Amino acid sequence: MNRLLILLILFGSQIGLSDFLLLPVYAARYGELTFLALYAIFKLVIVLPLLHAELVAGRHYRITPFEWVQTGRLGPLAPVVLSALVLAVICVVALTLHNASWTLAIASDALRGGLADFDGLDRILYWYELGADQVHLSRWIVLQVGILAVLAWFAWYGMAFAYAVALPLCLLFIMMQIPQSGALLDAWSWGEVTAEGVQQALKYALLSSVAGFLVWYLVGTRLPQTLPTGYWVLSVQLFDLWLGLSIVSAVFPGLTIIPASSGDAGLVLQGLVEQIARGGDGVIQLRLFMLVAAVIGMLSSVPLLLLISLSGSGQTRRGGLLLALLAAALLALVLMVSVQVESALTWRGQPFSELLSGFSYSLVVPLVALMISWGVGWHLPPNQVLKQVNPRVGGRYLAWRASLKFVIPTALALTFTRDSLGLSGASLSEILGVIALLAVLLQLARWIRRQAIYPLD
């Protein structure tokens, strides 16, 4: 693969819609500058080793994740793992399609000047009418599906072309936000470091890289063994952090208008509508923000779709691509219905959209990260890794390997256990009761097997 092509994909796959819609909310809610500092630390200490491990594993195995599962190395678990990977990708793509449809609709109105001079009542009516106009939002979902199908059809070249358009827009936005970044540092304070803030910073650092997980593995399958990539990984993370700071600096005034305790992804969009309606000197930057967010929203699903449709030879399985897109689009339409005020799509009082989001981000992301750290940290032979890492810097290699073996699994367990246990909507005592019952049944099955009352061999 051409180096420029590789760099476009590595940089582009690390930028997602969550950077625009969630990072400012998390930062405002969990310590402001303290959260941003913790987020930066975790991106460099946790996410960077994981992404580097993906490149290492990809260059070692030389087959895609789905082809690896199909080799039979997992035995009877192979169909289960394969189905879980497909389901996970479809769920994450559906959530992205749903959130991006709202972003595209609002960005379209903002760029056409439709939000200027709104008063308080106009803004309330605007949100109500947009949420009720399901046909309008559905059109944006269909448009995204068409664009994604075209880009993923051309595999690596389609994705690189898309990021060749998006990354210059991101860089222009960063340059225009440099003065406002100083205003952010003056306006925000260093909040107290709390356990909740640390957990949320680590959680979001992983969530913001969900598009890059396994996609970097795919890139690794196309790289030469001896090509140095350490500085590439570091540069990508620094660019992502700089973009994140620019995003927060653009929207933080709007977060003071809308209470930070209400909503998540929709909070930033509401704040932007308020800022644009009030006018002022920063309207041009805000419209550029909406344009960049809309473009990134449309493109952030491309890397995940390649996980399903791309083969080790670089060809696209177009049937699988179209089926995955169709399933994700249908699920996105269901999500659109579930967010209505009187929607019947709930589970134990939770809207279906929140349940799916919890499944995708509280189970899928940590499990994928755990698979990477476990597979590379414990099972990849050191001599295979040293072929790709400069052996003269042994301390750096040992720190990276120790992080994959011990630090990252421990951090994942501490961060995501509570969220994962709460997905069912059941109380902690109910969950522990089910676990205890399953343990008793397992022991009973083992005792029956030993007694040969019902032989299973």
> pLDDT tens-digit profile of 247-256?
999 888 877 7
Residues 225 and 284 in one domain: yes
**344-353 confidence digits (pLDDT tens):** 566 666 667 7
pLDDT at 93 over 60: yes
pLDDT of residue 170: 92
- Residues whose CB falls within 8 Å of the CB of residue 119, separated by 6 or more in sequence, listed in order: 277
pLDDT at residue 37 greater than cutoff 90:
yes
Name residues whose C-beta falls within 8 Å of residue 453's C-beta, 6 or more positions apart in sequence: none
Indicate the pLDDT class of residue 384, thresholds 50, 70 and 90: low
Statement to judge: residues 321 and 456 lie in one domain: no
C-alpha distances (whole Å) from 9 to each of 12, 77, 90, 208, 236 are: 5, 31, 21, 16, 10
Q: Do both 277 and 191 map to the same domain?
A: yes
User: What is the pLDDT averaged over residues 94-118?
Assistant: 84
| Domain range for 436 | 426-457
| pLDDT per position as a tens digit, 386-422 | 555 554 556 777 788 788 888 888 777 766 665 655 5
Q: What is the DSSP string of 22-69?
A: THHHHHHHTTBHHHHHHHHHHIIIIIHHHHHHHHHHHHHH-S-HHHHH
Same domain, 391 and 445: no
Model confidence at 163: pLDDT above 70:
yes
278 with 144, same domain: the answer is yes
Q: What is the pLDDT of residue 145?
A: 92
Q: Inform me whether the pLDDT recorded for 423 exceeds 60.
A: no
Q: Give the total number of structural domains in the chain.
A: 2
CATH number of the domain encompassing residue 179: 1.10.4160
Does the structure show a pLDDT above 90 at 367?
no
CA 166 – CA 125 distance, rounded (Å)? 32
């930028």: which residue's tokens? 15
pLDDT interval class at 64 (50, 70, 90): confident
Res 216 pLDDT > 80: yes
d(CA 260, CA 257): 9
pLDDT at 347: 64
pLDDT classification of 182: cutoffs 50, 70, 90: confident
**55 touches 62 (CB < 8 A):** no
Q: What is the pLDDT of residue 439?
A: 74
* pLDDT (0 to 100) of residue 241: 93
45-54 residue pLDDT tens:
888 888 888 8
284 and 219, same domain (yes or no): yes
Looking at every residue in the chain, the average pLDDT score rounds to 78
Q: Are residues 221 and 341 in the same domain?
A: yes
> What pLDDT is attached to residue 457?
46
- Do residues 152 and 50 both lie within one domain? yes
The residues with which 32 forms a beta bridge, in sequence order, are 190
CA 196 to the chain's CA centroid: 20
Q: How confident is the model at residue 168 (pLDDT cuts 50, 70, 90)?
A: very high
Looking at the chain, the whole-number percentage of residues with pLDDT higher than 70 is: 76
Q: Domain check: are 435 and 420 in the same one?
A: no
First and final CA of the chain: distance in angstroms?
A: 50
Please determine, for residue 262, whether its predicted confidence score (pLDDT) is greater than 50.
Answer: no
Q: Band the pLDDT of 4: cuts 50, 70, 90.
A: confident
When mean pLDDT is compared over 1-15, 64-78, 223-237, 328-342, the highest value belongs to 1-15
Q: Are residues 227 and 299 in the same domain?
A: yes
Residue 41, pLDDT > 90, answer: yes
- Quickly state the pLDDT bin for 453 (edges 50, 70, 90): very low
- Read off the pLDDT band of 362 (50, 70, 90): low
Which residues, 6+ apart, have CB-to-CB distance to 161 below 8 Å?
Answer: 151, 154
118-139 tens-digit pLDDT: 776 777 788 788 877 888 899 9
pLDDT digit string, tens, across residues 147-160: 988 888 887 888 88
Q: Residue 336: name the closest of 325, 348, 328 by CA.
A: 328
- Residue 40 corresponds to which tokens in the numbers above? 């930066």
16 shares its domain with 136: yes
Q: What is the pLDDT of residues 268-305, one digit of tens each?
A: 888 787 777 777 666 788 888 888 988 888 888 888 78
Domain identity same for 351 and 445: no
